[in-house]
Amino acid sequence: MDKRAAIVLGVIFGGLFLALFGFLILAFSVAGGAGAGKLGAGNVGVVEVKGPITDAEDEVKALHDFLEEDRIKAVVVRVNSPGGAVGPSQEIHAEIRRLAEEKPVVVSMGDVAASGGYYLAVAADKIVANPGTLTGSIGVITQFPNVTAIAEKIGFQMNTVKSGAAKDIGNPFRPFTEADRKVFEGLVDDVYRQFVGAVVEGRKLPEEQVKAIADGRVLTGEQALQAGLIDQLGNFNDAVDLAAELAGIEGKPKLVYPEKEEPLSLHRLLRASVREGVRAVADELRLQLRSETSAAPRVEFRLPGT
């Protein structure tokens, strides 16, 4: 390579490096500026619970951050969920209770806030629902398939080695026994007792009154108001106004949503790369396991039919 060609290549690669370096500086400044000062722009925090409840990490973090931030005077939890897993529903419920001890918390129900969606709502100070919101569905359910007949037809057998009689309970490749049913009924009854207790405590209602409608039935917002399960009819804006009133906020309340992304950093980029790699491996393992075994049965706070 002659000297002229080397100079040309040096200029090209040098320019590319400077362009990349400038882009990174710009990205850092934009990302840092986008996240700066957001929390100071308002005084009513908004936490959204959308879709089936399978994980509580984001919601719990957002609730905790609003608890710690003095500039946030009240919080509205917007619920649009048919319910889901028991554990995450209870985690969000517990964090709302903790927040409600320090600041007013109002739940705003959207299209549906049933079962687990209602469970977490009863921890708030007030509940606002639309007249046609589907809510209630106070109850517990667990289901799992039985594919023994199909397995026999295709000549499939599942060999199981277990340490105890109930270790493979819910195994779809063997008959469901009366002993299995008693175990599941005990499990469901205990979680149901916890659900009813949460409603009794949160809504300040007699246990007999709650149990009278705690058979899994779904109620509209109007029916829930008559039953004492919510406090008033209204939309999201009505819930915001109520939260501001409870907190003594003067003037129009300003809303603050949790930050979705943290500022750009080398640590974040590396962490994201590692996370994606681990997730890919985990997804592949799940696919392999799913093809050989069934999913473990789960006890859920879930709207029937979802």
Radius of gyration from C-alpha coordinates of the chain: 26
Q: SS3 for 110?
A: strand
For 188-206, the pLDDT digits (tens) are 999 999 999 999 999 999 9
> Among residues 50, 167, 182, 254, which one is catalytic?
167
pLDDT average, residue stretch 69-97: 96
CA 15 – CA 9 distance, rounded (Å): 10
206-214 CB contacts, 8 Å cutoff, 24+ apart: 210/138, 213/136, 213/138, 214/138, 214/139
pLDDT digits (tens, 9 = 90+) for 238-283: 999 999 999 999 989 999 999 875 555 555 555 655 565 555 555 5
State yes or no: is 61 an active-site residue: no
Kindly report, residue by residue over 103-113, the tens digit of the pLDDT.
Answer: 999 999 999 99
Give all strands (DSSP E) within the chain, no chain letters: 44-50, 74-81, 83-85, 105-114, 126-129, 134-136, 141-142, 218-219, 232-233, 255-256, 299-302
From 81, 89, 115, 137, active-site residue? 115
Would you call 167 a catalytic residue per the annotation? yes
- Report the chain's mean pLDDT, rounded to a whole number: 82
Of 6-15, 43-52, 148-157, give the lowest mean pLDDT range: 6-15
pLDDT of 236 higher than 90: yes
* 263 DSSP 8-state letter: P
| Cα separation, 205 vs 63, whole angstroms | 26
What residues contact residue 192 under an 8 Å CB cut-off, 6+ apart? 139, 140, 214
Asked if residue 65 has pLDDT above 60, the reply is: yes
Locus of tokens 């992304």: 261
The answer, yes or no, to whether residue 286 has pLDDT greater than 60, is: no
